[in-house]
Each structure stands twice: as C-alpha cells, then as structure tokens.
Structure 1
Amino acid sequence: MYKKTGILFLVLILPVFIYLGLKTFGTNHFSLPRYIPAIDSTTGEIKMAKRLNPRWNESEMDTVFQTIPSFSLTDETGKTFGSNSLKGKIYVASFFFTRCTTICPKITSQVSRVQDTFHQDPDVQLLSISVDPKFDQPEKLATYAKRFDANKGQWHFLTGEKKIIYPLALKGFHVPLADASEYDAAIKNPDETFIHSERLILVDKEGVIRGFYDGTDKKEVDRLLVEIKVLKSIYTNY
C-alpha cells in the first residue's frame, strides 16, 4: 500500500513540484564582467562603495568602475552629438577613418553585423569615431555611412576636435591611438599615419565598459552579439 502510494507520488505529484520550483526559482542569472576599476588618486587603491544587490535586496561593498567621460562631437549630418544622447543606452564604440584601406573596412563590416542583429532595438546604439577628424568632415562621414547602409538614429559616425577624440580614446575607452605624423613629418600615407585599435568596446547604460572585442575577427564579434544579449537580459531581470 505505502509502496504504491510512494510510486504514485513520484509519478504524478513530484513533477508538479519540480515544475513549480523551476518556474519560481529557475530564472537564469547571467553575469558580465566590468572593466577598468576606478583608482583613488590619494591612496593608489581601487575605489570601493556600497551597492544594492537587487537579487538579495541587500547592500554590499563593491568595486567602483570608471565610466566613459562626457563628450560632445559632430555626427555625419553636421549636428552635435553628445554623450547625453547615450544615457540609458547600451552602445558599441569603435575607431576608424574614411581614408583607411586596411583594417577599417573590416571593422565597419563587422559593426554592420551588429546593426543587422539589433536593427529594431533603439536601446542598442553604435558609434564609429574618426581618428582623422581634420579630413573626416561630416560630408565624408555621410558618404562612408551610406556605403555601409548605416541606420540613421542608431549608427552614428562622429568627428570633432582632435584634442577631444584622442584623450577620449586613450583615457575614456582605454584603446591605443596615435598620429605618427606628430613624430615623423615624412610620413604621408594615411594608413601609416593613424595608428588605432581594432577593438570594439561594449558600454552599458551606466557608461561602464563591459567588453573588448577584435573588430576584425568574426568569432570575436559573434561573442559581442551574444554578450549584448546577455547585458540586455541582465537589465530585464534586475
């Protein structure tokens, strides 16, 4: 009798409890690293601050991470594009120049894949920032944007003052950038003049870097596509 009752419980009742348990507690919780901890200039140590853990609704000490500094540049339409436009957005930034014949077309083609994946998602924005701003005026950027079928309002091609763009790349997005002509006036070939990173940088809604990816490598960009979805899931769940 008891044996039959136990078998009946296992067959009929236990699956119901398992289902309810999975439904209640089985939500997947993804994580994605944050990059570039903030350093206390007086002590040289990593800054720490209290943060509310939304999962447990408790405060805990957590690392403070650097955020992308505010900036104001000019887009391919000639309008001012500021970092305020990116508040509450996830975005992918990259550096290029229109005269580049080596890695830039490869990078831009991979950014185009990101656009194709998230073309109906206004929360995902794309920035392509010129490292050759003197030449890359808005009309040059507009022609380049058209070449890659860039979606207006989602994929922004930016230019501006060199004194803003170069520190933004180096100290804000933490990617290497140099103008070799500053050290050797004999260099005339643009491909040899502007030395910049091939990395794509994923930035979250708070302005914190969440990933670096080789923009010339399809597999790396595949990883970026997945991690954008992970980041979106984090915001949805929390």
Structure 2
Amino acid sequence: MASFLCANCPGASPEPIAQLARVQELYRQDPQVKLVTYITAGLTPEKAAEQYGAIAGKWWFLAGDTTAVQRVAEDYHLSLVDNSTIQTSNLFLIDRDQHVRGIYDGTKHKEIDRLLTEIGVLLYIYEHDDAGR
C-alpha cells in the first residue's frame, strides 16, 4: 500500500490516513501487507508515525527533498501542487512486483471496502501461487 500525506495542505482530508490505520490493524499479523506513506509537507516521518500509530515494520512514513518528491509523483502519475507538493486522497495497492494493482479514493468507505477485498484476493493468489512453486 502506498499513500501520500500533506499535513498542512489546505483541504487535505485526514480520512485516507485513518483508513490506512484500519488496514494496518486488519492485517497486523500478516507480514506481506506493508504500508508506506510519503510525506510531502507538514510533518517529519517520526512525528507522523507517532501521530498516526504506525506499527514499526508494518507502516513506514518517508520524506524527501523536492527532487525525490517529484520522482515519486511521476512514478504514480500524479501532478504536483506548487511544483513540489503532492496532494491526493488516493491510496495505491502495490503488489510484490511493485506494480500498481489498484487506486482507491481514501475518503470513500465503499472504495476502502473494495481495497480490503482486493488485498484479500491478492494474498490468496500469492498463497496459491507460492504453493505451486
């Protein structure tokens, strides 16, 4: 899972991060499910992890300079706000081969339910794919 956090952006919704906390809790015991949140403005990774209750080794908060932020934005086909900040409520399901498997609106409950279903499907595929190897 990947997401972006702009803590001090006008109009930024706290809902996507709250939904990630829900995903973290539901998949707390599954080492295959990991969360990464790129911080684009407003908090340090340490403060964000503390504020949002990140479990070490499960949910990482990452920050970088403007160039790094721009590269990440390009990788996710996102546009920048003020040429340096990413502001999106989208959550990205990334598979173990680092492909985007789905994009979900983190402010809509039905989208999060769909995300949770698709995480379960992906884990099922991995389990049965690995069994055949």
TM range (shorter): 0.7 to 0.9
Amino acid at match of 1:127: V
Counting only pairs closer than 5 Å after superposition, residues 87-106 of structure 1 correspond to structure 2 as 92-100=1-9, 102-106=11-15
How far does residue 102 in structure 1 lie from its aligned partner after superposition? Answer: 3.3
Amino acid at match of 1:207: Q
- For the pair 1:231 / 2:111, whether they are aligned, the reply is no
Across the aligned residues of Structure 1 and Structure 2, the Cα RMSD in angstroms comes to: 1.9
Query: Is residue 94–residue 200 contact of structure 1 (8 Å, CA) maintained in 2?
Result: yes
TM-aligned CA distance change 1:122 to 1:128, over 3 Å? same
TM-aligned CA distance change 1:194 to 1:215, over 3 Å? same
Pick from 166, 173, 179 the counterpart of residue 81 of structure 2.
Answer: 179
Query: Is residue 103–residue 216 contact of structure 1 (8 Å, CA) maintained in 2?
Result: no
Aligned-residue sequence identity (percent) comes to: 35
Query: Is residue 12–residue 87 contact of structure 2 (8 Å, CA) maintained in 1?
Result: no
Counting only pairs closer than 5 Å after superposition, residues 78-227 of structure 1 correspond to structure 2 as 92-100=1-9, 102-132=11-41, 136=43, 140-170=44-74, 172-174=75-77, 176-180=78-82, 182=83, 194=85, 196-227=87-118
TM-aligned CA distance change 1:230 to 1:113, over 3 Å? same
TM value normalised by structure 2:
0.86
TM-aligned CA distance change 1:195 to 1:144, over 3 Å? closer
Query: Is residue 200–residue 215 contact of structure 1 (8 Å, CA) maintained in 2?
Result: yes
Aligned length: 129
Amino acid at match of 1:123: Q
In 2: Cα distance, 1:166 partner to 1:114 partner: 27
Query: Greater CA radius of gyration, 1 or 2?
Result: 1
TM value normalised by structure 1:
0.50
Mark the runs of 5 or more structure 2 residues left unpaired by the alignment: none
The Cα offsets for residues 191-217 of structure 1, whole Å up to 9 and x where unpaired, read as: xx9452211111111111111100111
Structure number with the bigger relative contact order (C-alpha 8 A, sep ≥ 6) is: 2
In 2: Cα distance, 1:195 partner to 1:162 partner: 10
